[in-house]
Every structure is written in structure tokens, then in C-alpha cells.
Amino acid sequence: MCEWFITHMATTQARRLSTADARRGEVLATAARVFAARGYYGTSTTEVAKGAGISQSYLYRLFPDKETLFVAVVEDCSRLIREHLAEAAVGVGSAEPEAVLDAMALAYAHLIADRDDLLRVLMHANCAASEPAIGEAVQTLYARLVEYVRSASGAPDGPVQEFFARGFLCNVAVSIGATEVDAPWTRTLLAGIRHF
């Protein structure tokens, strides 16, 4: 469907960014914030264009259609998250699997503290997974993320699974605004995780 775009991204990875490619990058960054609010279905391309400060028609020159744009945003967000986890993994002194996992969990908590749009986009992507291209992107996203966490930590299935379970708990808590509410149920859900 959007092979021109994929190959384009792949081949231009190394060489200098042209002006249009730079624009694409800027659009991806601002589009994440726009899509974070109401997701793939609830966000119009006009809103995304307005958020990026370009016309809607030019948005359609940068991306072939809305689905491709959204998938690119999702991949950009997941790349950002992976980079932050990687940074934490190399920064930890110990090589103990549990220590690496804890460092990555802490890094994630800090990351989403001031970039909650990242996890919101990911949650919206989960919910739009019935759209074929988005569903495929989401599956490969999680596949890469799980394999990365496994290899970076060297931990077995159990702790890796718990790492993701707690991550999803954070995601839900942030996305429903539970972090802004102080009540017994939010204290239970967020006990020992509050880094925001």
C-alpha cells in the first residue's frame, strides 16, 4: 500500500534530510500530541495539519493517507520509548536482570511523566488495531519491544511479563487521569509507582 513511504524512510535513513523530510519529522512530532487526545478515528487530518502549522493539502503531500500518517506516528513513538529504555539499560551499573528491568521501569515512568502523549498514542493504536495496517504495526511494535527488553535485561519470561504488566497498568492509569485523583482506588493502583 504505502511501500513508497516505507522504502523512502529506509533509504533516506542515512543521508542528509531534505527539507520535505525535515517537515515530515516535525509533523510526526506534533501529530503525536494531536492524535494523543482522540486517537485515529477521533482526530481529523485538518486538526493534525493545524497542529503542525501546515495546510491540510500539504499534509497529504507528505503522507499518502491518514492511515499511513498514523502508523508513522505510532512507529515514531515506539522508537522514542525504545531509545529511552536503551539509555537506561546502558546506564545501570549492575548486569543483574532484575536491576536492568528496574532501571528501565524507572526510565519509563519518568518518560511518560512529561510525555504522556506517547503512551496515549500507543493505547489509541491498540484500539485501532482492527484497521489492518495499524494492527500489523502494533504487533511488530510489541514484538520488537518485548524482544528488546528480554535481550537488554537477560531476564526470563516471568519478570519480563511483569515488566509489561506494570507498564500497561501505568498506561491505563495515566490515560484515564487516575494520576490526577487522590483516592483509595488510585493509591492502590499506583502504590510504589508514583514518579509523576
Partner DNA sequence: GTATGGAGTGAGTGGTCAATCACTCTTTCT
Partner DNA sequence: AGAAAGAGTGATTGACCACTCACTCCATAC
The answer to whether residue 132 forms part of the interface with DNA (CB under 7 A) is no
Instruction: Write the interaction track for a copy of itself spanning residues 163-192; mark x where CB under 8 A is met and - where it is not.
Output: -xxx-xx-xx--xxxx--x-xxx-xxx-xx
> Is 7 among the residues that bind DNA (CB under 7 A)?
no
Of 87, 94, 147, 194, which one interacts with a copy of itself (CB under 8 A)?
147
Q: Is 1 in the site for DNA (CB under 7 A)?
A: no
CB contact burial 97-116 (16+ within 10 A = b; e otherwise):
beebbbbbbebbbebbeebb
Least distance between a copy of itself and beta carbon 55 (Å):
24
Nearest-angstrom CA–CA distance, 95 and 186: 33
For residue 85, the tally of other CB atoms under 10 A from its CB is: 22
Q: What are the grid coordinates assigned to 40, written together?
A: 485515529
Of residues 4, 20, 38, 98, which one binds a copy of itself by CB under 8 A?
38
For residue 32, give the nearest of 73, 62, 63 by alpha carbon: 73
Site for DNA contains 56 (CB under 7 A): yes
Kindly list the residues in this chain that would bind a copy of itself in the complex (CB under 8 A). Answer: 37-42, 120, 123-124, 126-130, 135, 138-139, 142-143, 146-147, 150, 157-158, 160-162, 164-166, 168-169, 171-172, 175-178, 181, 183-185, 187-189, 191-192
